[in-house]
Structure 1
């Protein structure tokens, strides 16, 4: 409710405000929803003057309807889809990771979460020639691994170095440092992180649960509030700057004995898309991983795909079977 105040718009002086309140008209909503002709008689003011005030208040405070066609045109012009580097994962995600929203990868240790994050960073920096913000909260980011993946894509050393320069790494190991970093980026530093003329297209947090989960549970009510703050700033950054927000999460055991993403029910509403990554059977040395879509507004949930972590290390020239991944049913 927006309360009427003197001077809010031309013509709304103290005398008229007093008469409106006497007629039990106290908010903008009251003015907009009233019969203007009847109200003008009750307040002894001209219909023309009151109609003009109502029109100004509508322009200042009312939300105007937008057609579905306009929304779709806005979506087409603002949304970009970023490849994960894996055809089967891209298919699972309806072509890839979308800008303007949060995508979550959950899984246990060794499930391939970081590898997918590395691949997204490599795709954005090398192929799109855009910048990436990579927030490492576990110390797991390996520059040598990034370089290995870049070498699998191009043999040009200069291209490799330029791509590495577009990946901006922040090593943060507690929730307060993460929030400080995100708020600073949102306030304007995000687009200052551009190199080579390209804008930031992805903000990756690997992992968001590493700094949030220690604060949850027990009597630490502050943890929930901090988690919601992280979610809020990531959402606004994704939307306002048209970037893809990609986060990783740990897993816990469900009541049935299976695995599910961590951070609880409150966090489950935050990501637009959630993917569960797991090791495939075949021994500890197997590079095969499975991906299950557990939340999506675009695809049926619980569909699955397989991918091979080693596909990101093979050069295109040296392996004709690079990224030839098998799609599986649920």
Structure 2
């Protein structure tokens, strides 16, 4: 039996995983590009039922067995699957949801990266409005640069025709902001979230950290930086999995001075493989309101896929 494997996307589905995974079922799954444990966990129960002869109850049994047996993250599988069936959180940004094949996957880590002033934070403001008002879900914003702007959220609300007094209770109950100053603050905040989400924030769906790399670069030694980065990465992954939430990392990129079209995310090679999905946002040099979002890396989306968005006073559309 395979145990304590960190990347479930590397373990192939076989008849040895579970007795219900017969050769006939495995063939049906493979024909629908469901080949690994990660592929199986990423799909909703409804989708798995459509693409195989498995019944809902059988799918739940297999998923719980995979969670309990093949992951290193310590969490209660029963609680995990007693949460709402949908594993997808639509962003409310139509083109972005199309790129993400429906929306953000719960339990996953996403990175939105780009150069300064490329629109990275604007996605958060629109997401915050969409989640808090239209879905009544919580979003927690960890601000590393003291740049959170409540006026921007109010501007989006006004231009969309909302009454600020009527929306204030939902905004206050669903959007949480915490300013941090260094990596120790970040670690403390992430640990507190681990403890507090089940107690008083069970409607929390998304955690955003902006700007992630700015916390680590002040550390003077590469060895110290890597140690803290490794520790924070483990906390983030555990937080996402244990509480079935989405963690969005907003990060900067380095631009190749020779080939300016080549960009790499900050924080080096170690961080490169951490996010489940990495999205690059770029501004159109000929139209300041037009931007593109490209899949740079993903465990489930096709690399290189691009959609166009508009960022203006109304938010992201």
TM-score norm. by structure 2 comes to 0.70
Counterparts of residues 287-326 of structure 1 (less than 5 Å): 287-310=289-312, 312-313=314-315, 323=317
Unpaired segments ≥5 residues, structure 1: 1-63, 314-321, 324-330
Q: Cα distance, 1:213 vs. partner?
A: 2.9
2:245 is matched with which residue? 243
SS at match of 2:308: strand
Unpaired segments ≥5 residues, structure 2: 1-15, 22-39, 41-58, 65-80
**Aligned residues of 2:154 and 2:164 also touching (Cα < 8 A):** no
CA deviation map 1:233-272 (0-9, x unaligned): 1111111111111111100023644222111111111110
1:177 is matched with which residue? 185
| Larger CA Rg, structure 1 vs 2 | 1
Q: Does 1:119 align with 2:126?
A: yes
TM-score norm. by structure 1 comes to 0.67
Q: Cα distance, 1:94 vs. partner?
A: 1.6
**Aligned residues of 1:193 and 1:200 also touching (Cα < 8 A):** no
Alpha-carbon separation, structure 2, partners of 1:122 and 1:94: 21
Q: Does 1:271 align with 2:280?
A: no
CA 1:159–1:102 in structure 2 vs 1: closer, same or farther (change >3 Å)? farther
Alpha-carbon separation, structure 1, partners of 2:170 and 2:154: 9
Alpha-carbon separation, structure 1, partners of 2:198 and 2:131: 15
RMSD of aligned Cα (Å) = 2.5
2:112 is matched with which residue? 105
Q: Cα distance, 1:80 vs. partner?
A: 2.9
Alpha-carbon separation, structure 2, partners of 1:147 and 1:267: 34
CA deviation map 1:124-155 (0-9, x unaligned): 21111122111011122100101222334452
CA deviation map 1:188-245 (0-9, x unaligned): 2124443xxx611111111111102333xx7431110111111111111111111111
**Aligned residues of 2:91 and 2:131 also touching (Cα < 8 A):** no
Alpha-carbon separation, structure 1, partners of 2:276 and 2:122: 21
2:10 is matched with which residue? none
